[in-house]
Amino acid sequence: MTEGLSLRERKKIQTRRRLLSEATKLFTERGFDQVSVAEIAEAADVSKMTVFNYFDSKEDLVFAPMEEHIGDVAQVVRDREPGESAVAGVRRHFLTAIENRDASVGMSDSPVALGLLQLIQQTPTLLTRAHAFFVLSFDQLTDVLVDEGEEPAIARIVAAQLIGTRNALITENHRRLLAGEPVEEIAADAVVIAGRGFDLLEKGLGDYATRAQGEI
């Protein structure tokens, strides 16, 4: 990924990666609120000012890798092929991410990925930030659908279903990762579950969960 870059650009990438690595290590060892930016800078052998040259806040040291994926669903829908529905495009992208063991859909059991997941679950301020990402993804997808001519109310309904389904699938992957299950086992089930979830979106809930006579 660094081929063709200048020495200065490569050094900037290396510094950014080192900051993320050292921050993650400190956060997972001691907790997010117990680590200062100055301590991260010292661990990475840079100045405190250098940290803020790369990241606007301490929270960004947790969420920077995830932030790159906020617009994934909106981009997939915007760039889908002629004849491909929004649901089909999001399904295709999600299944490809599973196949590639992409951390953005909960398909990485590396110590860093697991440490970040645990950190977010245990830190209220980080959970709030994670929820904000969900809202931003929803807003971006809604805008794409409105730009294509859908009325805003319907665009929000569709976006909520697409984003909600995808996030529910990712949440299940995360749950199993944190329970200690190997990613290869999770991946096999994730394909099946994703298929069922996206099938419901494509076909509609219809008679799903219809209560049989005499159940009450």
* pLDDT above 80 for 214: no
**Tell me, what's the pLDDT at 68?**
87
Report the interhelical angle of 60-67 vs 111-122 (nearest 10°). Answer: 120
Query: What are 28-37's pLDDT values in tens digits?
Result: 889 999 999 9
Q: Are 163 and 76 in contact (CB under 8 A)?
A: no
**Tell me, what's the pLDDT at 215?**
64
Task: Please give the structure tokens belonging to residue 46.
Answer: 């840079």
pTM for this predicted structure: 0.87
**Domain locations along the chain:** 7-61, 69-203
**Tell me, what's the pLDDT at 86?**
96
Query: What are 150-188's pLDDT values in tens digits?
Result: 999 999 999 999 999 999 999 999 999 999 999 999 999
Q: Report which of 59, 56, 15, 18 is spatially closest to residue 35, judged by C-alpha positions.
A: 59
Q: What percent of the chain has pLDDT over 70?
A: 98
In sequence order, the 6+-apart residues with CB closer than 8 A to the CB of 46 are 15, 18, 19
Query: What are 52-85's pLDDT values in tens digits?
Result: 999 999 999 999 888 889 999 999 999 999 999 9
**Tell me, what's the pLDDT at 64?**
86
Q: Are 55 and 23 in contact (CB under 8 A)?
A: no
Q: Which CATH number fits domain 7-61: 3.40.50.9100, 3.90.1580.10, 1.10.10.60, 3.40.50.300?
A: 1.10.10.60
Q: What average pLDDT is seen over the chain?
A: 93
Instruction: Name the one residue in this structure whose structure tokens are 């990924």.
Output: 1
**Tell me, what's the pLDDT at 176?**
97
Side-chain half-sphere exposure of 45, counting CA atoms within 13 A: 4
The CATH number of 69-203 is 1.10.357
Average pLDDT (84-100) is: 97
Q: Are 26 and 43 in contact (CB under 8 A)?
A: yes
